[in-house]
Amino acid sequence: MSNKLTMALLASCALGLLGGAAMAQDFDYGKFDGYTLKVKLIGGTQYEKLYTRIPEWEAMTGAKVDIVSSKAHFDLDREIKQDIASGSISWCVGSNHTSFAPQYGDLYVDLKQHIAQAELDKYVPGTLASAMVDGRLVQLPRVTDVSNIYYNKALYADPAKQAAYKAKYGKDLVPPETFDDFKNQIIFFADPPNLYGTAFAGKDEGMSGRFMELLRANGGDIFDENWKPIFNSDAGVAAVQWFKDIYDAKAVPAGTVNYGWDEIGAAMAAGQLAIDLDWPGWASYFSDPASSKVAANLGFAVSPVGTSGHRGGWSGSHSFSVTEQCDNIPAAVSFAVFMTNDESEMMEATAGNLPTRSKTFSDVVQWFKDNNKPALAEMFPIWQQSLAEARTPPLIPQWIEVSNVIWPKVQAAIVGQEEIKAALDEAAAQATTIMQDAGLLK
Amino acid sequence: MKFLRSPRATPYLLLLPAIVVILAVVLVPLLVSFWTSFTGYTLTKPATLFQFVGLRNYQRLLGNADFWWAFARTIMFITIALNLELVLGLGLALLINKITWGQRTLRTIMMFPMMFSPILVGFQFKYLFNDAVGLVNNALFDLGLIHEPIAWLVEAGLANFSIIFAEMWMSTSVFAILLLAGLMALPKEPIEAARVDGCNAWQVFRHITLPFLMPFIYIALTIRSLDVARAYDMVKIMTNGGPAQRTELLWTLMTRVGYQNSQMGMANAMGYISIIVSIAFTVFYYRKLTSARAFMGGAQ
């Protein structure tokens, strides 16, 4: 899955440049006068800017949009599960994510049956491939997430630090290319409580995902080809040891084991972190002097490689889905396409997000140059490099459940409550039960 | 039909709407959730509601160390929080009862914390106790009392202390208000008689005020024990049960299992076992309440 995704992503970027003329065909958004489309959308500052385009779709189609729910994704996920359980799917379009989509069974329509192939060809093929569940296109991706490095250039440009680092590690002080260098630099830069080397998402899927990323970079994986959990391997132990080392060295805030994405983003913007392995969506926030103390010194780099010589490339896409029980599927499909069309993707990309349409990649770099944002123009080619080794979590309904047995045990090992191997063995045993119950593992 | 038209049926007919409503909103959900605890019910697969697995969920819970740790931690959490809230609430009530000017204003101010949503209180204390940017650590740094940040929400003891502290901040006034009501209803004659007989303040409190207040105390304890046993919002925001399940309570665990993992059958089995905690506390306090009232001559 991952290699295919990688190749497809690379191929798509090239195709995006070459195939512009073929993609010029416009989608027919239709007319739905007097119809009210009920939608459940992910809330939060970085997601809601796109919703300012909704009035345009309303004016174009004559329909009205009723946002019946707008919540953080985990809350929205809970609400959608309650709707499924109570059989009350009275809405048509819902925000979705590649990590969540496999859980929802046949809640959403196969969009391949409702959207012409010519329109689907405008999306990055690899991104579209990861939006499929059991061969069904259950979501239209709106932005892609892949791990990348943000760093404070001022720290790397300091001659005293350059000399000290060279003397200590025998290497030049440049953004880390391996996880070993990454760890050394995190510990090297740390000067708590004013400056920490980094912070990591220490709970929920954030912790499981970061662990998975390092595990894969070290040559391991969550499951083998028969869905047997194998994350308690040597590669898994080394991955947890990496987190434990920077935690024990007090190079990260002690509270990082309780941090989610917002706390990490806030710490980076406050200039409290030297390096941050994070999502593209923060680029606009970090590079805005009004919100970020590191705006003038913000550097970008591809994520580091592990002992296998590869990147973990944790990736996924936010998306829109259309429910099977929608009373006006053409209107819902029209809305989902509109929210991910060239103009919408341009809006997402100018905020620093990785777009899901091939054409936008070249358009947005030019836009950054034209609008005097050289740092963000420099960022996009780096983000594309990271996409080359992008890998989603396992696209199975049990992923979130397995994630929920992994992260508490990884936490326990990091804070020294359990020995690393014992903690991972325990989590693997619980994950095995989950996979057996699901019938995926005999 | 004949019975329905007779006067004897009138009370039953009048009660019928209430009985139907209670059946619909209490008994039916209880029965359904009890049934699901014997199934492999997965929220996202409605058909699993009929996948009977017998006692499998309960058997797995018996051997699930995480669940029993959360169970024990919840009992500990209730015990510590209630006792501290009781002592502080009683102190507050006694102090406010002494005030003759501005008592109404103080009573209103005292109720402010109760007006906040637990989620808001969770965010407030998460910020206060944040190790990097929190006000508590910043104050301690500025006073020169610490030289490296205290991980309030990470260390097992401190994290549980922080949550109990937030819980107390929000709910001590519940005790204070209920006990103040008791103090205001306290007859003055026995106290005056005791003073005439030479009792000091402590003796008056120990032998007259406190016994009279005991029914109020047990009612407050019963209400609050049910509240605290369902503690979720604040813990979810402050630590989400972590790190390493150090602050995991029954409701954070059940919510994760039921909603994030979609394993509602298992979550309901957890719920039915955990009801034991609430029943035990309620029965204990109810017995104490009855004996306290009997002591006061209020019940047989």
Give how far the C-alpha of residue A319 lies from the chain's centroid of Cα atoms, to the nearest Å: 11
Chain A interface includes B158 (CB < 8 A): no
pLDDT tens digit sequence for B85-134: 999 999 999 999 888 888 888 888 888 888 888 899 999 999 999 888 78
Residue A436 within any structural domain of the chain: no
Percent pLDDT > 70 in chain B is 98
Mean pLDDT, rounded, for A340-354: 93
pLDDT tens track for A323-345? 999 999 999 999 999 999 999 99
Judged by a CB distance cut-off of 8 A, whether residue A404 touches chain B is yes
Any CB–CB contact under 8 A between A416 and chain B? no
Q: Which residues on chain A are in Cβ contact (under 8 Å) with B43?
A: 81-82, 84-85
pLDDT at A17: 41
- CATH number 1.10.3470.10 is the correct assignment for the domain at B64-295: no
End position of a domain, from candidates A369, A387, A405: A387
Q: Which of chain B's residues have a Cβ under 8 Å away from the Cβ of A196?
A: 132
Band of the pLDDT at B289, cuts 50, 70, 90? confident
Q: Is A358 found in the same domain as A342?
A: yes
Out of A263, A280, A302, a domain closes at A302
Contact B43 A82 (CB under 8 A): yes
- Condensed to tens digits (0 to 9), the pLDDT of residues A25-59 reads 589 999 999 999 999 999 987 789 999 999 999 99
Residue A408 within any structural domain of the chain: no
pLDDT of amino acid B260: 85
Predicted confidence band of residue B298 (pLDDT cuts 50, 70, 90): very low
Does A186 share its domain with A326?
no
Q: Is pLDDT of A398 > 70?
A: yes
Cβ separation B154–A204 shorter than 8 A: no
Same domain for A236 and A327, yes or no, is: no
Q: What pLDDT shows up at residue A305?
A: 95
Which residue type, as a one-letter code, is found at position A416? Answer: G
- Domain ranges, residue A286: 148-302
Residues A65 and A188 in one domain: no
Chain B residues in contact with A414 (beta carbon < 8 A): 243-244
Q: Residue A203 and residue B242: Cβ atoms within 8 Å?
A: yes
Residues A119, A160: one domain?
no
How many domains is chain A built from?
A: 2
ipTM of the modeled complex: 0.77
Per-residue pLDDT, averaged over A407-423, amounts to: 95
Residue B52: how many CB atoms within 10 A of its CB? 11
What are the residues facing A229 on neighbouring strands?
A: A223
At A22, is the pLDDT very low, low, confident or very high (cuts 50, 70, 90)?
Answer: very low
Q: Assess if residue A36 is contained within a domain.
A: yes
CATH code, domain carrying A257: 3.40.190.10
Q: Nearest 5°: phi and psi at B276?
A: -55, -40
Is residue A207 situated within a structural domain? yes
* DSSP run (H or E) holding A47: helix A45-48
Burial class (CB in 10 A: 0-12, 13-18, 19+), A160: exposed
Which of A270, A302, A334 finishes a domain?
A302
pTM for this predicted structure: 0.83
The residues, any chain, with a CB within 8 Å of residue B293's CB and separated by 6 or more, are B215, B299
Reported as a single tens digit per residue, the pLDDT across B187-217 is 888 889 998 998 998 999 988 899 889 989 9
- DSSP bridge partners of A276: A150
pLDDT, tens digit, 9 for 90 and up, residues A151-163: 999 999 999 999 9
A82 inside 8 A of chain B by CB:
yes
pLDDT at A178 over 90: yes
A99 lies in the same domain as A157 = no
A408/B130 touch (CB, cutoff 8 Å), yes or no: no
Domain boundaries, chain B: 64-295
Query: Which residues 197-216 in chain A show a CB within 8 A of chain B?
Result: 202-204
A439 touches chain B (CB under 8 A): no
Q: Does A321 lie at the interface with B, CB-CB under 8 angstroms?
A: no
Does A202 sit within 8 Å of B132, measured CB to CB? no
Average pLDDT estimate for A62-72 = 95
Does a structural domain hold residue A173?
Answer: yes
> What residue of A is the nearest CA neighbor of B264?
A85
Give yes or no: residues A80 and A34 share one domain: yes
- Reported as a pLDDT band with limits 50, 70 and 90, residue B297 is low
User: Do A326 and A253 belong to one domain?
Assistant: no
Phi, psi of A193 (to 5 degrees): -95, 5
Residue A432 maps to a domain: no
Asked whether the beta carbons of residue B44 and residue A397 sit closer than 8 angstroms, the reply is: yes
Residue from A232, A404, A208, A373 nearest A300 by CA:
A373
Q: Which of B133, B243, B261 sits opposite A258 (nearest CB)?
A: B243
Phi, psi torsion values for A276, nearest 5 degrees: -140, 115
